[in-house]
Chain A
Amino acid sequence: MNKPIVYVESVSKSFGEQVIFRNLSFSIKQGETLAVIGHSGCGKSTLLRVIGGFEKADSGEVSVNGKIVHQPARTSIMIFQDFTQLFPWRTAISNIVWSMLAVKIVDSKSKATRIAEQYLSDMEFLPSNYNKFPIQLSGGMKQRVSVARALALKPKLLLMDEPFGALDNLTRQKMQIVTSDVCKKHNITTILVTHSVSEAIRMADNILVFCRDGKIEIIKNDKYADAKIEKLLNIRH
C-alpha cells in the first residue's frame, strides 16, 4: 500500500472577511488522483495555489514529499487555470524543450525535443503546430501544450487547474487517458480541479467537494459517488 505524499493539516485561508476554507485536513497517497469540484468562486484554485506554495495559508501546514511547502518548488508542478502560461516568445515545442533543459531533466536539446514531440503527439497536437507561437494557437491547444510541458517535467505532484476546460468531449477524453497513463507510469500524484462531475469520476480515486453550504467533504470514488456529489453540490439552507 502506498504511503501519503501530500499532507494538508488544518489549513485555513481567508481573503479579508471572506473565509475560503477553515481547518482543512486531508492527505493524498502517492500515485493517487484527488479531484476537486465545486461551484465557480468557491476556492478550488485557491486551494491548489496554497498546496503549490503560490499562496500562503493563514494557518496550518502543507507538506509534499516529506517537505513543508513554503514556496513553489519543482516537486509540484502547477498547470494554471489560464491560457497565457506559455511564454509568448517561444514556440509551442520550444516552451516544453526550454523548460526541460532549464530544470536539467535531460542533458541534450535533441533528447528534450524527442520527448516533447512524443507528449505533444500523445495529446493529438499536430506536428504542423509545433513551431507556432502561442498567439497562433487556440485556447485548447495552449492548454494541451501546458499539460505536455508539466508532464515532461516529471513532478512528484501534478496540480492541474481545469486543464481540459476548453476542449471538446473527444479530445478531452483522450487527454484524460493520456494524462492518467503518464501519471500511473511515473507514479505521479495528481490534484485535478474540474467543474465536470463525470471528469472527476473518470479520473479520481477520491473527490473533494466544496459543498454549497461552505463545508468541504472528501468522498471515495465508488459507485455512489455520482449521486453524492450532485447532492453535496446542491445542498441549500
Chain B
Amino acid sequence: MRVSPKNKFSPKTIFGKPSTKALLWVLLLLIIWELAAQLDFVPVYILPPFSKVITTLWYEIFNGNLPVMVGRSLFVLIEALAVSLGISIVVIWLCRKSKTFNSFYSAVSAMMNSIPSMALLPLIIMWLGIGDIAIIALVTHSVLWTFTIYINEGINAIPKIYREFAENINLSTFKQLKDVYLPAILPNIVSGLKIVWGRGWRSLIGAEIVFGAIGAAGGLGYFINISRLNGNMSRVLAGIVIIAIIGIIVDYGIFRRISVRMKKWGMKNE
C-alpha cells in the first residue's frame, strides 16, 4: 500500500540523507583544515591543526574549566530568557487589554527590534556597570522584542472557532489560556524561541568578550577572550567549536524534536 518514496525516509530525516550530506561537508572542511595546518600552509599560532584544538577542548573539558564557563554562560542566558518571558507575558496581557498600549508597544518594539544589542552596549555599561545585570539586560533586549512580536502574531492567528468552542463550554479564563491559547500558539512560541535563542546566545557571547576585556570575569566569551590575550590559539578555537556544538545540540536536541511533534498535529512551525 505505502508506495510514496518520500514517506520511507521522512521519520528519519534528521539522521537520514540531508544531514548525512551536511556532515560530509563539515568533515571535508575539517580535513582541509587539518592538512593545511599539518603541512605548514599556515603558521600554528594563526591556525593550529584541528586535532590540536580537539585535544585542547578535551583537556579544558576535563580540567573543569570549560564546563564552568559554559555553565555560567548558559545560566545567564536562561536567566535572561526567563526575564524576557516574564516581561512578554505582562506586555502581551497589557496589549490585549488596552488598544492604546498595544499601538504604543507595537511602535516601540518595531523601533527597538532594529537596534543591535551591541549598539546599546556603551549605554548599558554606563547605566548598569559591567555585572550580570548588564549582560541580562543586553540579552533581554536582543530577545524580548522579537519574541513578543511572534507571540502576538500567534495569538492573532488563533482560529476563531477554538475560541468560540471554549466560550461555548464556558471555560474559565485560566483554562482557556492553559488548554486552548497556549497549545494553539505553541508553534509560534517554538519558532520564536528558536530565533530568539540564537540571537540571545550571540549577544551574550559578544557581551562576555567585551566585558571580559574591561575587567569582568566568566562565561564562554570571557574564556575565548582571555585565551586570545594569552596567545593560546587552540583554546580560542576550542571555545568557538564548543559554541557551534552547543548550537547544534540545542537545535537538533530541542527544537527539531518539538517541531516533529507539532507536525504530527498538523500545526505549522516554520
- Residues on A facing B (Cβ under 8 Å): 52, 54, 71-74, 76-78, 80, 82, 84-85, 87-89, 98-99, 102-103, 133-135, 153
Contact = CB atoms under 8 A, between A and B. Distances in A.
22 contacts: A54-B164, A72-B164, A72-B167, A73-B168, A73-B170, A74-B169, A76-B168, A78-B168, A80-B164, A80-B165, A85-B161, A88-B266, A88-B267, A89-B183, A89-B184, A99-B169, A102-B171, A102-B179, A103-B169, A133-B266, A135-B264, A153-B169
B265 interface: yes
Interface string B135-169: 00000000000000000000000010110110111
Given A133-B265, A134-B266, 13 more contacts: A52-B168, A72-B164, A72-B167, A73-B168, A77-B169, A80-B164, A82-B161, A85-B165, A89-B184, A89-B265, A99-B169, A102-B169, A135-B266
Given A87-B180, A89-B186, A74 B168 contact: yes
Contacts of A78: 164-165, 168
Interface in B176-209: 179-180, 183-184, 186
B175 interface: yes
Given A87-B180, A89-B183, A77 B168 contact: yes
Interface residues of B, number: 20
B128 to A, nearest CB: 41
Main secondary structure of the interface of B (DSSP, over half): helix
A55 to B, nearest CB: 10
Contacts of A54: 164, 167-168
Contacts of B161: 80, 82, 84-85
Contacts of B265: 88-89, 133, 135
Given A82-B161, A84-B159, A89-B186, A74 B264 contact: no
A94 B117 CA distance: 45
Nearest to A52: B168
Contacts of B162: 87
Nearest to B168: A72
Contacts of A134: 266
Contacts of B167: 54, 71-72
Contacts of B165: 78, 80, 85
Residue with the highest number of chain B CB atoms closer than 10 Å, among A73, A74, A89: A89
A36 B265 CA distance: 34
Nearest to B164: A54
A133 B265 CA distance: 6
Interface string B229-270: 000000000000000000000000000000000001111000
Contacts of A74: 168-170
A99 B167 CA distance: 12
Contacts of B164: 54, 72, 78, 80
